[in-house]
Amino acid sequence: MTPSTDRNQELFERARRLIPGGVNSPVRAFKAVGGTPRFVARAQGAYFWDANGKRHIDYIGSWGPMILGHGHPAVVEAVQKAVLEGFSYGAPTEREVELAEEIVSLVPSMDMVRLVSSGTEAAMSAIRLARGATGRSKLIKFEGCYHGHADALLVKAGSGLATFGNPTSAGVPAEVVQHTLVLEYNNVAQLDEAFALHGKDIACLMIEPIAGNMNFVRASVPFMRRCRELCTQHGALLVFDEVMTGFRVALGGAQSLYAKAIPGFKPDLSVLGKVIGGGMPLAAFGGPRAIMEQLAPQGPVYQAGTLSGNPVATACGLATLKEIRKAGFFDALAAKTATLVAGLKAAASAESIPFSTDCEGGMFGFFLLPQLPQNYSQVMQTESALFNRLFHGLLDRGIYIAPALYEAGFVSSAHSEADLAETISAAKEVFQALSSRA
């Protein structure tokens, strides 16, 4: 296909004249891997078709929300009905109460929940609530964890534990991140030292229990246990960012997995998104009643949103949660994901290409490394050029994975055994090609 007939390229050139970088979210631009992003024309089930009409097996799923695949009939029906009733009211609805009831029933750490429109908004609001509830200013986050693009969270590690982070984005003044301490993921000794130095001033510790923006890195059980112990000991709130993992790795989220390993474990606040909206702009944060009642209009911590609890988004989310609650759903989803990663690992191993992988529920990650990394610095040891060749090799064969080696992948209930087999077969071809070029 010549450039003049490549609709993806034509659209990208048009977009770059009007939209910074040609995209409305940076990773979509293929900047890390090179080439032209695929402009999606339509999607159904486990597939999308790009502007050239080429079908791709989709392992991004809108970065996680499409756990049922695209266009699930029950979800489409619920959304169509809601649209006919009205797009937005700026007033309370029964459906947002129903969604709150559903979320609280599935997440035992929550007594109350506040609906918002994006994961960034939910994380930002949870931090404000933690600061208001504790009367403290400082927060801990971990290198490689992403909690949205709020100013206080766009920060990299400082020069030592006695110092706080430095901005990672232009437009973020140093004084905005002066209360953010960035630690190494899965480093218990560093965690202990940080609380020893700053414990009385720490409002909250925010963590992705499975870091999906390092591809897929789990917090170890000893590390998570220590996070809980130190927060309890020093009066800080443990905030779980489950925007990605919530209702994706298990019906009760990642916190339900840690509760099985750590008796009595639960976070103080949880941040949710993606799956709870079923593909619509919807997120939430919640926790115990005593903390959540600090929010306006009941308490002094202000938070508001014109589109919060949007009636179309809540319809989409409710229909999605109803489907994933069905008996056997997560067992079947986890089995598909395990089949995929096992096949990818076998294909790489057959060509002696270093490869490690992990998965939980419908979320997976892989690394072109001999062992699974435990933190961001280890993730960064992956050879990006090799990943880029793998990405484009799969893309050419109609397999769409994240266009960056730092992003997790997602399997949906719509992926068939044939889709998984086609993906593994394509990976074998690509790994063979990579091996012959080595």
Nearest in space to 123 (alpha carbons), one of 242, 222, 19: 242
| Average pLDDT over all residues of the chain | 94
**How confident is residue 156, by pLDDT bands cut at 50, 70 and 90?**
confident
Q: Which of 156-160, 292-296, 311-315 bottoms out in mean pLDDT, i.e. has the lowest? A: 156-160
Q: What is the mean pLDDT of residues 115-137?
A: 97
CA distances in angstroms from 242 to 18, 45, 69, 251, 293, listed in the order given? 34, 24, 20, 12, 21
pLDDT given for residue 158 in this prediction: 57
- For 203-259, write each residue's pLDDT tens digit: 999 999 999 999 999 999 999 999 999 999 999 999 999 999 999 999 999 999 999
Judged against a pLDDT cut of 90, whether residue 92 lies above it is answered with: yes
pLDDT of residue 14: 97
Which is catalytic among the residues 59, 146, 185, 258? 146
Share above pLDDT 90 across residues of the chain, in percent, rounded to a whole number: 88
> Among the options 138, 141, 266, 274, which is catalytic?
274
**Catalytic residue selected from 50, 58, 241, 358:** 241
241 as an active site residue: the answer is: yes
Residue holding tokens 């750490």? 109
In the structure, what pLDDT confidence band is assigned to residue 1 with cuts at 50, 70 and 90?
very low
CB neighbours (10 Å) of residue 137?
12
Q: In the annotation, is 358 catalytic?
A: no
Strand partners, 269: 239
Confidence of residue 157 (pLDDT cuts 50, 70, 90): low
* pLDDT at residue 163 in the model: 55
Q: Above 60 in pLDDT, residue 100?
A: yes
Return the pLDDT at 115.
Answer: 98
User: pTM of the entire structure?
Assistant: 0.95
Confidence of residue 175 (pLDDT cuts 50, 70, 90): confident
Instruction: Specify the pLDDT at position 235.
Output: 98
- Two tokens, residue 185: 């993921």
82 pLDDT more than 70: yes
Active site residue 146: yes
pLDDT digits (tens, 9 = 90+) for 339-379: 999 999 999 999 999 999 999 999 999 999 999 999 999 99
- The pair of structure tokens assigned to 93 is 């609805």
Tell me the pLDDT band of 194, cut-offs 50, 70 and 90: very high
Return the HEC string of the chain: CCHHHCHHHHHHHHHHHHCHHHCCCHHHHCCCCCCCCCCEEEEEECEEEECCCCEEEECCCCCCCCCCCECCHHHHHHHHHHHHHCCCCCCCCHHHHHHHHHHHHHCCCCCEEEEECCHHHHHHHHHHHHHHHHCCCEEEEECCCCCCCCHHHCEECCCCCCCCCEECCCCCCHHHHCCEEEECCCCHHHHHHHHHHHHHHEEEEEECCEECCCCCEECCHHHHHHHHHHHHHHCCEEEEEECCCECCCECCCHHHHHHHHCCCCCCCEEEECHHHHECECCEEEEECHHHHCCECCCCCECCCCCCCCCHHHHHHHHHHHHHHCCCCHHHHHHHHHHHHHHHHHHHHHHCCCCCEEEEECCEEEEECCCCCCCCHHHHCCCCHHHHHHHHHHHHHCCEECCCCCCCCEECCCCCCHHHHHHHHHHHHHHHHHHHHHC
pLDDT > 80? residue 167:
no
pLDDT greater than 60 at residue 160: no
What pLDDT does 407 receive? 92
Is the model's pLDDT at 73 over the cut of 80? yes
pLDDT for 3: 46
